[in-house]
Amino acid sequence: MQFPAPVSITWIAEFIQAELVGNTAGEAIGINEIHKVEPGELVFVDHPKYYDKCINSAATFIIINKKTAVPEGKSLLVTDNPFEAYCKIVNHFNPFTPAEKMISDRSVIGEGSYVYPGSFIGHNVRIGTNCIIYPNVTIMDNCIIGNDVMIQAGSVIGSDAFYYNTKKDRAQWFKKMPSGGRVVIEDGVEIGAGCTIDRGVSHDTIIGSGTKFDNTIHIGHDTVIGKNCLIAAHVVVAGYVVIEDGVTLWGQTVVNKTLTIGANAVLLGRTGVSNSLEGNRTYWGAPAQDAGVVKRELVWIKRIPQLWEKVMGK
């Protein structure tokens, strides 16, 4: 999530009541999660397992719960509860703003685009030219819709990320991490009926140009889908997934989090993806394997009774 303008790191340290160690003259341009963080941004870490990864990431400013060595040019913001500090910053720069109309006066809808009655368009949404938004579509705050996009009835664009603090020291229940990211849908995309696309936690969920969705598909937070992909009904994609250009996911495929599917891969129906996959190949099964290998294995499995009879001399 980018800030409206660079913010003094000393102000942020005071705002979250943290001790500032290292560079005290810097300015933060935004706040992000470890998988997406970039130079000039803030990130938080509250577990020793991830200290080194976080401190040595691209982040310039690290909210942490232990004073430790800090690389030159970077800053530590030491506080007892980095997660709460992170949430406070996100909520300050991206506060909840109630809706007063079905189509916000702060949204922009391009020439030639049509929004059917019953659809909701949130604050700061930008919809390009020649789009069709069918009935009962919900597009939440800050989402970006390109040109020549079609979104069928009942789809939800920009719902909150499914992202919670699961640490056992929580007071009562899982603590929700506020979603400061957006959904960005590029030109020529078609979204079927009843689809849900979650906004990024602190970065963007992106659907690349020319990609086509069937009905009832779910895309998790911060996932990036490339150009000209085809995704059939009932596909589920978890968070922080990268699906490169030209990929086809057939019906009921399930993709686990934080992995990459290479360009032009084809995943046959009901494939389960638990690890990254190379491009330009066809996959099937759960876990996903080369489809040709799986089919040959099935042929041999069917022959087992016949082979058993031969072995037993029947």
Q: For the chain, what is the total number of helices (H) and then of strands (E)?
A: 4, 34
Nearest CA among 303, 278, 306 for reference residue 290: 278
The string of pLDDT tens digits covering residues 12-33 is 999 999 999 999 999 999 999 8
3-state secondary structure of 86: helix
Nearest CA among 129, 135, 147, 145 for reference residue 197: 145
Could you give the CA distance from residue 105 to residue 201 in angstroms, rounded to a whole number? 25
CB burial class (10 A; 0-12, 13-18, 19+) of residue 114?
exposed
Reported confidence tier of residue 169, pLDDT bands at 50, 70, 90: low
Query: 104 or 306: which carries more pLDDT confidence?
Result: 104
Domain locations in the chain as residue ranges: 2-93, 108-291
- What mean pLDDT value characterizes the chain? 94
The string of pLDDT tens digits covering residues 65-88 is 999 999 999 999 999 999 999 999
Is there a contact between 217 and 198 (Cβ–Cβ < 8 Å)? no
Is there a contact between 184 and 206 (Cβ–Cβ < 8 Å)? yes
Reported confidence tier of residue 171, pLDDT bands at 50, 70, 90: low
β-pairing, 212-213 with 75-78? unpaired
The string of pLDDT tens digits covering residues 102-138 is 999 999 999 999 999 999 999 999 999 999 999 999 9
Q: What are 212's strand-pairing partners? A: 190, 230
Cβ contacts of 72 within 8 Å, gap of 6 or more: none
Reported confidence tier of residue 310, pLDDT bands at 50, 70, 90: confident
Task: Show which residues are catalytic.
Answer: 221
β-pairing, 248-249 with 61-64? unpaired
Instruction: Return the structure tokens found at 152.
Output: 């069928």
Q: What's the confidence (pLDDT) of residue 282?
A: 97
Residue 170 — φ and ψ, nearest 5°?
Answer: -60, 150
- C-alpha distance from residue 299 to each of 13, 45, 101, 198, 312 (Å): 64, 50, 59, 40, 21
CB burial class (10 A; 0-12, 13-18, 19+) of residue 151?
buried
**Order of strands across the sheet that contains 2-8:** 2-8, 27-31, 41-45, 61-64, 75-78, 19-22
Residue with tokens 């969705």: 213
Average pLDDT over residues 48-59: 92
The string of pLDDT tens digits covering residues 185-243 is 999 999 999 999 999 998 999 999 999 999 999 999 999 999 999 999 999 999 999 99
β-pairing, 289-290 with 272-273? unpaired
The CATH number, out of the four listed (3.30.365.10, 3.40.1390.10, 2.40.50.100, 3.40.50.300), of the domain defined by the range 2-93: 3.40.1390.10
DSSP for 217-231, written as a single string: -EE-TT-EE-TT-EE
- C-alpha distance from residue 252 to each of 26, 208, 216 (Å): 48, 21, 10
CATH superfamily of 108-291: Hexapeptide repeat proteins (2.160.10.10)
Q: What's the confidence (pLDDT) of residue 172?
A: 67
Q: How far is CA 248 from the centre of its chain?
A: 19
Residue with tokens 């009655």: 117
Query: 144 or 307: which carries more pLDDT confidence?
Result: 144
